[in-house]
Amino acid sequence: MRFGLVGAGKIGALRATALKAQSNAELVAVFDVNKDAAARVAAGAPVFDNLEAFLAAPMDAVIISTPPHLHEEASVGAFERGLHVLCEKPMASTVEAGRRMVEAARKHDRVLAVGFNFRYYPFVKFVREAVDAGKIGRVDHVRLFGGHDGLHNFSADWQYKMPHSGGGAMMDIGIHLSDLARYFLGEITRVSGVMSENVYKLPGSEDNAMAIFVNPDGVAATYHATWTEWDGYGIAVEVYGERGMVRGSYAPMKNLLIEKDSPTGAARRTVKRYPEIMLREKLKSWTSTALITFEEEVRDFIAMVEGKAGVALADGRAGLRSLEVAAAVRESTASGRTIDLPPLR
């Protein structure tokens, strides 16, 4: 599959490296307004500083890794030229833009996938496999936490400016959490929550958001996305069942599985640690783990384009729902009410 890359920044460079690891994929064009950045990742492929000219290059799919407010224009342009799209998270900076992207993909019968690469982290796969294997019984509730200690973690200021990013903690690490909530709940149809901008005081960029998501069967997830986790970066997913629980957390990466034969029975505990990942990240940075997830994502993307079902990759509807969920937390904060989300079209 011939890929074009839109956006050759920090993540775009990793996406280009991930493509090189695929025997059935090739990077054939790179577009960035910064042509030097494009040339650095292109490894000899043609580079462009103009979207129209880039989209006219012969290719089959594009990977979009520009700031979120730019995702719609590049995606819709790609669909109009018959290309498939793998778009970075968040899929767009507004729900309306996300909806237009899903509609354009449908109209042109192309694949739209979204880079929710946390689905591919080993600690999340462990949770998913334990739940799917029935090790904790019927799922009763889910808990999600993700955060870091704020603005100094960002390498570019668009990352905390609402017109570009679409919001704050909910659009940054929180968008992975709302996707994972849906990944484990099946769907999210009810949202209530409170977000706040009390610490950094950036208009429209919440530094904290706490919420409850509910699926159509009444199973709930608690969610907290934060930029004031003063202890530093951390993410945790916990699924509680009628006879056990499974937790995945990072960093460091770790899993805990508790299995019981009945709610009152004895607990069998399994702890999984990932020393090889910790060592690799110490030597080569966290991006070495992200790179592996990007390689798996692009493999699944090619499979999705080939019509294979059952891949872990998030589709455009998952991307859109995660935006709707973040918007619902915002709306719930303003109104003090619970927000019902209509079924996804």
Shortest distance in whole angstroms from residue 191 CB to ligand NAD: 22
d(CA 39, CA 246): 44
Tell me the window of 8-16, 228-236, 308-316, 330-338 that interacts with ligand NAD (CB under 6 A): 8-16
Shortest distance in whole angstroms from residue 266 CB to ligand NAD: 39
Q: Which of 70, 221 has the CB closer to ligand NAD?
A: 70
Tell me the window of 4-12, 105-113, 222-230, 331-339 that interacts with ligand NAD (CB under 6 A): 4-12
Q: 278: exposed, middle or buried (C-beta count within 10 Å: 0-12, 13-18, 19+)?
A: middle
Instruction: Give the residue, chosen from 27, 59, 62, 66, that forms a contact with ligand NAD under the rule CB under 6 A.
Output: 66
Instruction: Give the residue, chosen from 5, 8, 28, 85, that forms a contact with ligand NAD under the rule CB under 6 A.
Output: 8
12 φψ region: left (φ > 0), alpha (ψ -120 to 50), beta (else): alpha
Number of H helices, E strands in the chain: 11, 16
Please tell me whether residue 167 binds ligand NAD under the rule CB under 6 A: no
Q: Which of 66, 192 has the CB closer to ligand NAD?
A: 66
**Residues touching ligand NAD, count (CB under 6 A):** 23
153's tokens? 């973690």
d(CA 125, CA 118): 9
Instruction: Give the residue, chosen from 72, 88, 295, 300, that forms a contact with ligand NAD under the rule CB under 6 A.
Output: 88
Closest CA to 208 of 234, 173, 235, 184: 173
Tell me the window of 28-36, 93-101, 243-251, 279-287 that interacts with ligand NAD (CB under 6 A): 28-36
What is the three-class DSSP state of 243? coil
Contact predicate 232/149, CB 8 Å: yes
Tell me the window of 26-34, 104-112, 216-224, 252-260 that interacts with ligand NAD (CB under 6 A): 26-34
In the numeric block, the tokens 């690490």 are attached to 173
Instruction: Give the residue, chosen from 69, 84, 89, 330, that forms a contact with ligand NAD under the rule CB under 6 A.
Output: 89
Please tell me whether residue 166 binds ligand NAD under the rule CB under 6 A: no
Contact predicate 123/253, CB 8 Å: yes
Return the residue nearest ligand NAD (CB atom).
Answer: 9
Closest CA to 118 of 64, 183, 61, 166: 183
Residues that bind ligand NAD (CB under 6 A): 7-12, 31-34, 37, 65-68, 70, 88-89, 115, 117, 155-156, 290
